[in-house]
A and B are shown apart, each in its own frame.
Chain A
Amino acid sequence: MVQGIDSMAKTTATRGRELDRAGLSDEQLVAMLRNMLLQRQLDNRGFQLNRQGKIPFALGSEGHEAVQSGAAMAFKRGADALVPYYRDLGLALGVGMTPFEILSSLFARVTDRSMGRQFPNHYTNHDLGVLSISSIIAAHCTHAVGVAAAFKYRGESGRAVICSNGEGATSQGEWHESVNYAAVHGLPIVFLVQNNEWAISTPQDMQMKVANVADKAPGYGLPGVVTDGFSPIATYKTMSEALERARTGGGPTIVEAKCYRFLSHSTDDDDRTYRSREVIEERRKLDPVPRFEQVLIEAGVIDEARAKQLKQEVLRETNEATDSAEAQPYPAPETLYTNVVAGDHRPWQEFES
């Protein structure tokens, strides 16, 4: 039996001054905290803009900040690929996407990489190795395996793929097919499952009979690891080990990061209809963002003034990104017809006779 986030969180919190930094420098630790603060700020901004009637939709990642900043720190830029799901704001930021890109997507402006086509949080950035995804749960896992297969086929050791999804996705056949395929072929991939206990309104025990997603790993002949998704350092450590194993020919790992979804599924959801406030309040006491800030202060990595400064920085950055994204034009209507296929798209072909 593996401990849940409550017990793990307490362990980490009481560690306090004897910080197990998993080889991370002060600079890296601060970058992780900054990523978490920025996630929180951008998350809030999305919901605010929706409530102001400025954007139609937003998805929150609150509660996922720690796992994502830790996993992103383990990602090797310029080598690894990220195949995210729609609740991966922190991973996207952590591998190099900017708040302006995020806000352009929320506002559906011309500066969004998909040119305002995709739903918010459905990132694409080929330059950074962030694959384009759909909203169909776990469909992207097969693509992640394909990217890993390409790395292996070309003999590009030193490269690995992070395939990310929630625990609900592990009910899908395509998640199973992906893990199985990657296991059989020994591919360089890490299946990161962010278990936030909820798939919209469906709790974990309605998705699976096992206590941990990682318990499924032996069925594929793979290592499965449970990590504290409220601790960026713990997640970093687990993901670094799994990614390094993948990059050096050791094959896939299933990493389950236990976290929690603090907000409703999206701006269109109302979680009061299916879960109690009390549980959320309990979980909030373990909120990884203020907790990691406190951990770094107690360990002497930063002081209160630096923490305050970081928060001001990410607020300013979010404000600037909001203003500049909002000021961008919408895509022109005629762009609807472009990039269906290469070149001129016509279902009826006409030829010179």
Chain B
Amino acid sequence: MTATAQQQTGTTVMTNVEAVRTTLHDALVRDDRVLIMGEDVGARGNVFLITKGFLEEFGAERIIDTPLAEASIVGVAIGMAMEGLRPIAEIQFADFIYPAFNQIVGEAAKTRYRSNGDYTCPLVIRTPYGGGVRGALSHSVSIEALFYHVPGLTIVAPSTPADIKGLLNAAIECPDPVLFLEHKKTYRSVKGEVPAGYYTIPIGKADVKKAGTDATVVSYGYNLHQALDAANRLESEGISVEVVDLRSIRPMDKTTILESVRKTRKLLIIHEDNKFGGIGAEISAMVAEEALFDLDAPVRRLAGPDVPAMGYAAPLEDEFMTSTDEMVEAMRELAKF
């Protein structure tokens, strides 16, 4: 789809991966400061075919196959951003981001701060994360908790095609570095309506994906879709669960979480990343600080176990991932508490 061919009204149904692709494409058409760089983004068109055809359409100057070295993918993009371009750097799998850790945490996140605004770093780093695709130890990790500790970074993790488009546009507009997380299990398994034309969704704003009254679930990524399935199943039992899609991990939306928790008086946080020190820990602490006496039950968390990673064998992956049945069970228990 080209920008000129795109309808300016109405919606199109597309998958998450198509939403990423369309939004990147439109950004390249819209702004010649935008470049895409990473491993195999050119002739191969990215390992998920997100950038397929981009090389032919936009040229090797804008769709850059980099040497196989993550620290410099991010580092070179930082230099481009400091010099006024709007690079979109891709880390092929989130697991491969560790060699670039210093560039993201020590450099990109501190550029504006250390120069007191003399230099800025308007950079987007996109990366597919998460399990459920038999990716084993090094193609399955969630990395958000490693980075959300870092002031100066912005982290978004949208779960639906419409949110991906709005938040990726917002990330490209953002004058500071953004880590853009795409759950690879949702790439082709999640479809949805996407509004035509250019729009952004404010970074830091959560979205109530399903309204409910008996308990609040806060989640994001692939788990969000499981949580919606679980909540829908519980409707037949007369249990009404509200599902909040966090969408942004740094900053996070205090207002939406507190409003929901004060209404349902119960909170379950679900994420795939490890439980200890994870996103749920910060949400729990915030709710304890702000709304402890509004709660009718202890805060619950369903999250990844305290092991280094999920295994390649199906039982090891399944054991790591929270199942929809487990979510149903936890929601039911919480609602009845």
Interface residues of chain A, those whose CB is within 8 Å of chain B, are 81, 83, 113-115, 117-118, 122, 124-126, 131-132, 134, 136, 139, 141-151, 153, 173-174, 177-178, 180-181, 184-185, 338-342, 345-351, 353
Contact = CB atoms under 8 A, between A and B. Distances in A.
B76 A181 contact: yes
B297 interface: no
A174 to B, nearest CB: 5
Interface stretch (B66-74, B225-233, B265-273, B303-311): B66-74
Contacts of B107: 134, 136, 139, 143
Contacts of A173: 69, 71, 99
A303 to B, nearest CB: 42
Given A145-B75, A146-B83, A353-B259, A177 B175 contact: no
Nearest to A146: B79
B78 A142 contact: yes
A153 B69 contact: no
Which residue, A141, A153, A338, has most C-beta atoms of chain B within 10 A? A153
B151 A345 contact: yes
B204 A349 contact: yes
B209 interface: no
Contacts of B116: 113-115, 117, 338-339
Given A139-B102, A341-B152, A145 B113 contact: no
Contacts of B114: 114, 117-118, 122, 124, 132, 134
Given A153-B61, A348-B286, A349-B204, A146 B251 contact: no
Contacts of A125: 118
A251 B174 CA distance: 32
A139 B103 contact: yes
A180 B80 CA distance: 17
29 contacts: A81-B83, A118-B115, A124-B115, A132-B114, A132-B118, A132-B119, A134-B106, A142-B78, A143-B79, A145-B76, A146-B75, A147-B80, A150-B79, A150-B85, A177-B71, A178-B75, A178-B76, A338-B117, A339-B116, A339-B117, A340-B152, A341-B154, A345-B151, A347-B250, A348-B251, A348-B254, A349-B254, A353-B255, A353-B256
Interface in B67-113: 67, 69, 71-72, 74-85, 87, 99, 102-103, 106-107, 110-113
Given A338-B117, A341-B175, 20 more contacts: A115-B116, A131-B82, A132-B82, A132-B118, A136-B107, A139-B107, A142-B72, A142-B78, A144-B79, A153-B61, A174-B71, A339-B113, A340-B112, A341-B112, A342-B174, A347-B151, A348-B253, A350-B255, A353-B255, A353-B259
Nearest to A135: B106
Contact of B118 (A126, A174, A341): A126
Contacts of A180: 67, 69, 72
Top-3 shortest CB links A-B: A146-B79, A142-B75, A143-B79
Contacts of B87: 146
B80 A146 contact: yes
B81 to A, nearest CB: 7
Nearest to A142: B75
B41 interface: no
Contacts of A81: 83
B218 interface: no
Nearest to B122: A342
A177 B250 contact: no
A349 B253 contact: yes
Given A114-B114, A153-B35, A351-B205, A136 B106 contact: yes
A11 to B, nearest CB: 38
B264 interface: no
Nearest to B62: A153
A117 B115 CA distance: 8
B120 interface: yes
Interface string B241-281: 00000001011111110010000000000000000000000
Contacts of B72: 142, 145, 174, 177-178, 180-181
A132 B79 contact: no
B182 interface: no
B85 A349 contact: no
Nearest to B80: A146
Contacts of B66: 181
Contacts of B74: 142
B163 interface: no
B176 A181 contact: no
A259 to B, nearest CB: 26
B75 A139 contact: yes
A153 B118 contact: no
Contacts of B286: 348
Contact of B120 (A141, A148, A342): A342
A83 B35 CA distance: 22
Contacts of A150: 79-80, 83-85
Contacts of B99: 173
Contacts of B154: 341
